[in-house]
Structure 1
Amino acid sequence: MLAHSNFKTSYLAGKGHSPANLPSMRRCSQPPTTVSKKEDATESPTMKRCKQAKSKAEPNTLGDMEDINFSTEEIPDIRASLLKWYDENQRDLPWRRISKNGDNGGISVEERERKAYAVWVSEVMLQQTRVQTVIDYYNRWMEKWPSIHHLAKADIEEVNELWAGLGYYRRARFLLEGAKMIVEDKTEFPKTVSSLRKVKGIGDYTAGAVASIAFNETVPVVDGNVIRVIARLKAVSSNPKDSKTVKNFWKLAGRLVDPSRPGDFNQALMELGATICTPLGPNCSTCPISHQCHALLLSAKDKSVQVTDYPMKVVKAKQRHDFSAVSVVEIVEGDESQSDSRFLLVKRPDKGLLAGLWEFPSVLLEGEIDLASRRKAIDNFLKQSFGLDIRKSCKIVSREEVGEYVHVFSHIRLKMCIELLILNLKGGKTCMQRMQESATLTWKYVDGDALSSLGLTSGVRKVSTMVEKFKQNRSNFVPAKRRKRQKEKTANEMEC
């Protein structure tokens, strides 16, 4: 069955695979092996630090992650080492500049709310998105909506337009809905995890980040980076995607949080995972807490074990392969050369992938089908959605294949077959009115200038670019053919 493109999104947590027979580890009291001075002189700094840590972090097998914990001796050392490293090495990021404007006890309510708002926006943008990508979006967002009260006055079209290209658009909608909810309650910005969790779109991670960074609540924050750091610190070989395991990671992170600087500590832990304790190439020699790392200790003892074995690598769900026919419908009043053409855009359903965003008319297909079948699917879609019978109510100026484009989502590989369909409506405004009355979807016409300025998704923008390039190549090709015919005609006349 053919249907309008509508997918569901999924959120993937931290990543990371250890050998199936490698158990979880913990600290034990077994004394370290004696090392001669000659051997010690030839060892790398990382190996030295690893051997020095044996008295603190000698591993022992465990049967259950619930038995793993940080000792009272480990915790102060980890806190002090990590915060010292963070103070000296933290990245200069725009949202951190705002969050440093005074402590919570010495700033106004308005300034506290601005600080919390900045943290909230940045943390939502950073979910599944690289820092370097987020910076420009964050700066533009804060320039347009510098406070939660400014954002609450915006509409979803404005928000989607600014968010365009950042992906996972549901995040933008939740930011807007959350801002409206907070402002309509006419109370201060929620300060605690429990109150923040009541705001639509704010989950455990975002609530913990805002509460600790903006309001100094001693609560943990657990994302993929934190899971990776803790999994290596304690050599946890449990499945990091398992809900029970994730719950235990939250408990371990909660044990570590420094009550005097909870926000800085949480950021330090995430910063360490993002810059030092990375998934594939951890820089253990510069890690401030490598002397506490059980995974590093195990790798020093057994060459078959790697730090990157932790956390366990979970096999990703197989990516679904979908196919769609996309028709860029251009409406002209006269012939194709007129400059007052309009493009038909359709609003996606309010639920599912890319909810509420604009796209060119498209149809999800059951596998790869031939050109005639794709065109039939598009014709049926236009007729059912707008009452637009392109053979009876339109003159087809041209209909050409533009090409194919593969757009990759986290769980879907979508292959789009793109066409340019140029129509001349019979009856003009009367036909347009009939379309408005018959439409079962929200739609609009936009000119070329408006199309280029709209907040379209990266996939729709790519389709638009392909069509413009196609039209440009075609316009260059036609005069060339005419010049060739004229040259041949002139040559024939000269021969005569």
Structure 2
Amino acid sequence: MEAGVEKKRVISPKSKKRGRRNREIPRKEVPLSDDIEDISFSKDETLQIRASLFEWYDENQRDLPWRRISSGFDERDKRGYAVWVSEVMLQQTRVSTVIDYFKRWMNKWPTLHHLAQASLEEVNEMWAGLGYYRRVRFLLQGAKEVVEEGGSFPETVSELRKIKGIGEYTAGAIASIAFNKAVPAVDGNVVRVISRLKAISANPKDAATVKSFWKLAGQLVDPCRPGDFNQALMELGATLCSLSNPRCAACPISAQCHALSLSRQNESVHVSDYPTKVVKAKQRHEFSAVSVVEILDCQEMTGPQSSSKYILVKRPDEGLLAGLWEFPSILLEKEADLASRRKAIDNFLQSSFNLNLKESTRIVSREDIGECVHVFSHIRLKMYVELLVLHPKGNRSIDYKNLDKESITWKYVDGKNLGSMGLTSGVRKVYTMVQKHKQTEQATIPERRRKTAVRR
């Protein structure tokens, strides 16, 4: 769904519970439309909108890689798979960001059968940086389900909905774009366009309103070119009918836009008043202490000439960032001073790795690097970062024999390879901080030596 609100939000008719958590933002009075359940597009309106939108789309559609996959009969499964991958990637992600990810993905796993043979770690690494990693877990699980059921790609909304991770929107997008089924696909772009066409002031998160948007979108879908129509409607919302600065003068269906008509009659009304804005749920504030543990001359890995290694820990298979790799870290109950953070990290390293900093190793250096904030959709995480450089005592490797391997999974990563790994954006932020710190320290060494020589 190239649609991409440039940050795309999927609207599902089953969002009743989510909708209750949203409140309308107090705003100036806007003329209310009639009862939303009574709103519909007339036959003439529908035909005019289809014709105008197709004329615009055929001339202005963006050249996107997932649109180039053949829709011929022999390529139907590949087309369905490509649309599925693109739609999952585009959820909550900008179109410009997705393009390169999509190309790399399709080069590595060109068919559903190729993807079904991949491991979670492989797909996580390919996905790193796109965020919302739950999406890729479901994508892999869904691919395995389809292959296990015979490998034929489902073509109808009802069959697609049975696949893990495929909701109402994604099912409609795949069915219409890949298999030419005359069904709607309603995302945030489509909600915005339709709410302006009909000047709908109802809360767009309310279950009844969401249901009405799907009904109206279904009325508009062209039976001969349903996939192109859905993409055109989304494309319009992603480009011209934007959230805050709609380009009404260039819009191909402005003649049918009730919101634009109202704004011309009343200067206090603006097209951007639609759809009604709602207050987002408050982000939860969390804090963590992150220890970038660097081990010098870790001989057990590659011999006496090995470079330094870093310890990475695998997150649990369930929950936030499930199955992904990160530096050793621990959540804090609240903001904490340096002494408290180090005590928490020391306890974590002792309990998880049997790593006693006093007995089994020599601390080469331990520096407070600083802090950074990483924002998830519902969490604002402040990370306190330290660099802990260790050297095994007596030229021995660190002893992990008593580590409870069922409770935590870890690995060494060569410093030369760490930068090229598929790290999450949060982990990459931390690693970038450490690298900048090292470069700064390295740059000051000659100056320190010069000053020492002068004093002598």
Q: What is the TM-score when the length of structure 2 is the normalising length?
A: 0.90
How far apart in 2 are the matches of 1:86 and 1:419?
52
Q: Hey, what does 1:185 align to over in structure 2?
A: 149
| Matched residue type, 1:396 | I
CA contact (8 A) 1:387 1:435 kept: yes
Listed as ranges, the matches of 1:58-137 within 5 Å are: 62=34, 64-98=35-69, 101-103=70-72, 107-108=73-74, 111-137=75-101
How far apart in 2 are the matches of 1:464 and 1:350?
23
Structure 2 spans left out of the alignment, 5+ residues: 1-7, 12-21, 300-304
| Matched residue type, 2:229 | F
| Matched residue type, 1:259 | P
In structure 2, the CA distance between the partners of 1:149 and 1:187, relative to structure 1 (3 Å rule), is closer
1:367 Cα offset (Å) = 2.0
1:314 Cα offset (Å) = 0.5
| Matched residue type, 2:58 | D
Q: Hey, what does 1:255 align to over in structure 2?
A: 219
| Matched residue type, 1:79 | R
Q: Hey, what does 2:417 align to over in structure 1?
A: 450
CA contact (8 A) 2:298 2:397 kept: no
CA contact (8 A) 1:170 1:355 kept: yes
1:102 Cα offset (Å) = 4.6
1:200 Cα offset (Å) = 0.8
How far apart in 1 are the matches of 2:414 and 2:71?
49
| Matched residue type, 1:248 | S
How far apart in 2 are the matches of 1:120 and 1:290?
31
Aligned sequence identity (%): 66
Secondary structure of 1:432's aligned partner? coil
Secondary structure of 1:374's aligned partner? helix
Residue 271 of structure 1 pairs with residue 271 of structure 2: no
CA contact (8 A) 1:17 1:310 kept: no
Secondary structure of 2:373's aligned partner? strand
CA contact (8 A) 2:77 2:152 kept: yes
1:135-177 C-alpha deviation (Å, 9 max, x unpaired): 1111111111111111111111111111111111111111111
Residue 240 of structure 1 pairs with residue 204 of structure 2: yes
Q: Hey, what does 2:120 align to over in structure 1?
A: 156
Q: Hey, what does 1:22 align to over in structure 2?
A: 30
CA contact (8 A) 2:10 2:91 kept: no
How far apart in 2 are the matches of 1:141 and 1:296?
41
Listed as ranges, the matches of 1:322-341 within 5 Å are: 322-333=286-297, 340-341=307-308
| Matched residue type, 2:85 | V
How far apart in 2 are the matches of 1:394 and 1:118?
51
Q: Hey, what does 2:181 align to over in structure 1?
A: 217
* Greater Cα radius of gyration, structure 1 or 2: 1
In structure 2, the CA distance between the partners of 1:86 and 1:12, relative to structure 1 (3 Å rule), is closer
1:120-148 C-alpha deviation (Å, 9 max, x unpaired): 11111111111111111111111111111
Listed as ranges, the matches of 1:195-234 within 5 Å are: 195-234=159-198
1:344 Cα offset (Å) = 0.8
Q: Could you tell which deviates more after superposition, 450-459 or 305-314?
A: 450-459
Q: What is the TM-score when the length of structure 1 is the normalising length?
A: 0.83
Q: Hey, what does 2:18 align to over in structure 1?
A: none
Q: Hey, what does 1:146 align to over in structure 2?
A: 110
In structure 2, the CA distance between the partners of 1:334 and 1:448, relative to structure 1 (3 Å rule), is closer
Q: Could you tell which deviates more after superposition, 236-245 or 301-310?
A: 236-245
Residue 284 of structure 1 pairs with residue 248 of structure 2: yes
CA RMSD of aligned residues (A): 2.2
In structure 2, the CA distance between the partners of 1:445 and 1:435, relative to structure 1 (3 Å rule), is farther
| Matched residue type, 2:181 | E
| Matched residue type, 2:242 | T
In structure 2, the CA distance between the partners of 1:488 and 1:444, relative to structure 1 (3 Å rule), is same
| Matched residue type, 2:419 | S
| Matched residue type, 1:288 | P
CA contact (8 A) 2:352 2:403 kept: no
| Matched residue type, 2:424 | T
CA contact (8 A) 1:13 1:241 kept: no
| Matched residue type, 1:461 | R
In structure 2, the CA distance between the partners of 1:87 and 1:444, relative to structure 1 (3 Å rule), is same
1:268-321 C-alpha deviation (Å, 9 max, x unpaired): 100010011000111111111111111001000000000000000101222222
Q: Hey, what does 1:49 align to over in structure 2?
A: none
**Count of residue correspondences:** 434
Secondary structure of 2:280's aligned partner? coil
1:57-92 C-alpha deviation (Å, 9 max, x unpaired): xxxxx2x21121112221111111111211111111
Listed as ranges, the matches of 1:298-337 within 5 Å are: 298-333=262-297
| Matched residue type, 2:140 | L
In structure 2, the CA distance between the partners of 1:23 and 1:65, relative to structure 1 (3 Å rule), is farther
Q: Could you tell which deviates more after superposition, 347-356 or 373-382?
A: 347-356
How far apart in 1 are the matches of 2:184 and 2:396?
60
Q: Hey, what does 1:53 align to over in structure 2?
A: none
In structure 2, the CA distance between the partners of 1:229 and 1:124, relative to structure 1 (3 Å rule), is same
**Among 355, 358, 362, which residue is 1:391 paired with?**
358
1:421 Cα offset (Å) = 0.8
How far apart in 1 are the matches of 2:142 and 2:286?
33
CA contact (8 A) 2:184 2:217 kept: yes
Q: Could you tell which deviates more after superposition, 270-279 or 411-420?
A: 411-420
In structure 2, the CA distance between the partners of 1:252 and 1:428, relative to structure 1 (3 Å rule), is farther
Q: Hey, what does 1:470 align to over in structure 2?
A: 437
How far apart in 2 are the matches of 1:419 and 1:19?
46
How far apart in 2 are the matches of 1:244 and 1:190?
29
CA contact (8 A) 1:388 1:435 kept: no
Q: Could you tell which deviates more after superposition, 477-486 or 445-454?
A: 477-486
1:477 Cα offset (Å) = 2.0
How far apart in 2 are the matches of 1:114 and 1:86?
24
Structure 1 spans left out of the alignment, 5+ residues: 1-10, 26-61, 490-496
CA contact (8 A) 2:298 2:306 kept: no
How far apart in 1 are the matches of 2:138 and 2:251?
36
Residue 488 of structure 1 pairs with residue 455 of structure 2: yes
1:359-385 C-alpha deviation (Å, 9 max, x unpaired): 001111122111000000111111222
In structure 2, the CA distance between the partners of 1:72 and 1:438, relative to structure 1 (3 Å rule), is closer
